[in-house]
Amino acid sequence: MAWTLVTGGAKRLGSAICQTLAECGYDIVIHYNHSEQEVLEVRDLCRRQGVRAEIIQGDFSTRESVDKFCLEYLDRFGNTKNLVNNVGNFLIKPALTTTIEEWLEIFQNNLNAPFAISKALAPRIAEHPGSIINLGVAGLESMRADTYSTAYSCAKMALLMLTKSLAREMMRDRVRVNMVSPGYMNISVDLPQDESKLPMGRAGMPTEVSDLIAFLLDPTGAYITGQNIEVAGGLCL
């Protein structure tokens, strides 16, 4: 069996993705940065599903640290079929109160790191062929002004364009590249206090996102590429 890498897999949505994919029979590599105790717990939960599950530490804050991660990853887990780019810092600020340092950090984690990792793993993924899935955010394709989390939205919009571009570039290798974009989840740091005011009267569940990712990785979804699928309960309609 080939490996599936999930970045930011130690907590929250990343943890749910790892556990759902393990339940579906995928051998998982769980990336983490600082959350060592949490990642060990996720690893053990995945192993209880009868699959292989390993962990790898990686700092994505600079180009150099991402390059170092990619070299170590390929040395240990060269036989990789799928990549889920889940990691990405979140910042609630409009543009003019966002510092240059914060702006660059958001783009590094949400765009530059997924690009570098996808580029490094692409030849291995093409050997199978497998899939790349990027995590976005609901509302990217509405093209409305965003003064709530400007840097984050800009980075995710750029990641959407990268998703579509990679999908077109890699389709001849039968590698599929898609984006999954959640809305408010019940684990969201900015979840409204009154969930009943959300369009469907509730927040989403992490498993509703991870189940879609499992579908996109499965041969059932083998003719889907270059798409951005929202799991948002109609939030941005």
Q: Is 26 a catalytic residue?
A: no
Q: Could you tell me the CATH number of the domain that includes residue 224?
A: 3.40.50.720
> Which residue range forms the structural domain that includes residue 19?
3-231
For residue 196, the model assigns a pLDDT of 87
For residue 170, the model assigns a pLDDT of 98
Instruction: Enter the pTM of the model.
Output: 0.96
Q: Which of 148, 152, 184, 223 is catalytic?
A: 152
- Inside any domain, residue 116: yes
For residue 202, the model assigns a pLDDT of 94
**Local mean pLDDT, 10-residue blocks, the chain (237 residues):** 96 97 98 96 98 98 98 97 95 96 98 98 98 96 88 97 98 97 90 88 94 97 97 89
- Inside any domain, residue 111: yes
- Inside any domain, residue 60: yes
What's the domain count of the chain?
1
Calculate the CA 25 to chain-centre distance: 19
For residue 1, the model assigns a pLDDT of 82
- Inside any domain, residue 237: no
Residues 6+ apart with CB under 8 A from 101: none
User: Pairing relation of β-strands 3-6 and 53-57?
Assistant: unpaired
- Inside any domain, residue 236: no
- Inside any domain, residue 210: yes
Strand order in the sheet with 80-85: 53-57, 27-32, 3-6, 80-85, 131-135, 176-182, 228-231
Q: How far is CA 141 from CA 44, 125, 179, in A?
A: 38, 27, 12
- Inside any domain, residue 72: yes
User: Pairing relation of β-strands 176-182 and 131-135?
Assistant: parallel
